Structure 1
Amino acid sequence: MAALAATGLSVGWIWSKADAVAPVALPSGGAKPIETVSPSVKPSSTPTPFGKVLGTVMVASNNDTMPIMSSAWGNNDERSGLWGGAAIWLTVHNNYDGKGASWGNYTAFGQLPPDIPYKNTAAGLKEAAVQIGTRAIVNLYDKDAKLLPGTTHKEITVNGHPGHEIVAKVVVKIPKLTETYSTVMIAVVDRGDGTADVSVADIAGSTPAWQNVWRYKVSQIAINK
């Protein structure tokens, strides 16, 4: 992808570099002394949780669910930066360059990463949406991705839970690809316990009908209590 100039969303997060340590079970008592472990051995970090696609729903690691877009969409790696998330994919342009490259639509569902500050207020939801939206665009495109004018913000409600939606258009300039932009959509939904769920959609500009499908699926997010 050609180098692009950043505009619109601001990159304002700080990556957490703190290592989490997995709990270690204590040995039972016995006659043999406990052996000393070499201090040069580093404890392994706690693995990042992940979600999964089960049948017709994406299941986050906290067991919250969001329906998949349709049966035409298949399981995919979660690469937008969500915490404990799952993702699906629909190919729109197969082998567009004659060398096997494909271009398509992507949707993910998971949790707001714990390193993004969050407050369950209207302002807090908006700021969280900006932060995770920026991260998603950088992960899916490039840190220099250019946005077209017209990014929108909207307060939403999902089954009584307040949320915030952002819609932005990312410029696409790839040889032999007919798409000129993609629409990235972010929804952050408060869970009521100090945390939030997130859905990200990356929809090719030539397939705008999927935008309202995504909004409908977001309205069906089920929060596990």
Structure 2
Amino acid sequence: MPEAEGYGVVLRQSGDSGARARLVGALVLVVAALVATALCVGWIWTRADAVTPVSLPSGKPGLSTVSPSVSPSSTPPPKGQVLGSQIVAVNKDTMPIMGSAWSTSGDRSGLFGSAAVMFTVHEDYNGVADWVNVVSFGQLTPTVKVTSTPAGLKAAATQAGSRAIIGLYGEGAKISATTHKVITVDGHQGHEITTRVAVSAPKLPETFSTVLIAVIDRGDGTAAVSIGDIAGSTPTWIPVWRTKVSQIKINR
């Protein structure tokens, strides 16, 4: 019956009241112990932090800077390109190549933003290298300001020629039969120099080379320059060079 079951429960609760009191007391003691332990642990960590601070690494004064294993290199000067039938300087001035028999070459004439082509005259003449004709095209170094007068262009051509001859033949080069001529290219005034450079090398059937310099006023304080280095035994390339110089286009 329902009433009888409810009554029995009340009797069991009444009979266990002492046990419940004892259980509550035990729980209070456990909680108090845990609180005390927590406080104790917290105190230990606090004290540890206080007496043993974390040491931070510190640099010693006067430490020398470690040098890199490779020193930074200077920025290489800009270079032009040989594109198809044109030598294209960095400033986009152009000069036609000398012909299909000529190939791309490095430039040692001291021009800025230049490119070059070469033609082999004596292959393996000394068992080590070839003797070649070279034509380069670029501009005079921008740090050299060109004066737009006949005298200024002559001075610029002289400087470009000196740099080229030293770069190609060294400071001891001997020159002769030097000529000067005023030229006009693409509507711009210019100056041409031709000179002979003495050549003497074992097993080389050459006694001189003709070095040709053409400087063209760009009208902005700079000059377009072409350098021709032609072996004495191949003079037919000299008028070809002059024709190609007359076809130079100044990038405006």
TM-score by length of 2: 0.70
The Cα shift of 1:95 comes to 1.4
Is residue 112 of structure 1 aligned with residue 143 of structure 2?
no
Q: Quick check: 2:144–2:222 contact (8 Å CA) kept in 1?
A: no
Following TM superposition, by how much is the alpha carbon of 1:43 offset from its aligned partner in structure 2, in angstroms?
Answer: 8.1
The Cα shift of 1:101 comes to 1.9
Verify the 8 A CA contact 1:167 1:184 in the aligned structure 2. yes
Counterpart in the other structure of 1:73? 102
- How is 1:1-16 mapped onto 2 (pairs within 5 angstroms)? none
Amino acid at match of 2:183: I
Q: For residues 128-184 of structure 1, what are the alpha-carbon distances to aligned partners after superposition, in whole Å with 9 as ceiling and x for unaligned?
A: 100110010000011010012x20000000021000000000000001101000000
Residue in structure 2 matched with residue 131 of structure 1 by the alignment = 159
Asked if 1:85 corresponds to 2:114, the answer is: yes
Correspondence 1:172 to 2:199: yes
CA distance in 2, matches of 1:156, 1:183: 19
Q: CA deviation at 1:46?
A: 4.5
- When the two chains are superposed, the root-mean-square deviation of aligned CA atoms in Å is 1.7
Counterpart Cα distance in 2 of 1:85 and 1:213: 20
Paired position in structure 2 for 1:210: 237
Cα distance in 1 between the residues matched to 2:161 and 2:144: 11
* DSSP 3-state at the match of 2:137: strand
Which amino acid is the alignment partner of residue 93 of structure 1?
Answer: H
Secondary structure at the residue paired with 1:61?
Answer: coil
**Structure having the larger proportion of residues in helix:** 2
* Aligned amino acid, residue 94 of structure 1: E
Which is bigger in relative contact order (C-alpha 8 A, separation at least 6)?
1
Change (3 A) 1:47 1:104: closer
Q: Deviations over 1:62-114 (max 9, x none)?
A: 001000000100000011100000000000001112x1321010000001112
Distance 2:191 2:147 in 1: 12
Unmatched segments (≥5 aa) in structure 2: 1-64
Distance, in Å, in 2 between the alignment partners of 1:95 and 1:43 is: 37
**What's the TM-score once normalised by structure 1's chain length?**
0.78
Partners of 2:229 and 2:73 in 1: CA distance = 34
Shift of 1:224: 1.0
- 1:55 correspondence with 2:84: yes
**Which letter maps to 2:249?**
A
Q: How much identity, in percent, do the aligned residues show?
A: 60
For residues 204 and 113 of structure 1, what CA distance do their matches in structure 2 show? 26
Aligned-pair CA distance for 1:45: 4.7
Q: Is the 8 A contact 1:94 1:100 kept in 2?
A: no
CA contact (8 A) 2:103 2:117 kept: yes
Say which one has the larger Rg: 2
- Aligned residue number for residue 182 of structure 1: 209
Is 1:53–1:87's contact at 8 Å kept on the other side of the alignment?
Answer: yes
Cα distance in 1 for partners of 2:150, 2:77 equals 28
Which residue of structure 1 lines up, in the alignment, with residue 50 of structure 2? none
Amino acid of the structure 2 residue aligned with 1:85: S
State the alpha-carbon separation in 1 of the partners of residues 166 and 159 from structure 2: 11
Partner of 2:17: none
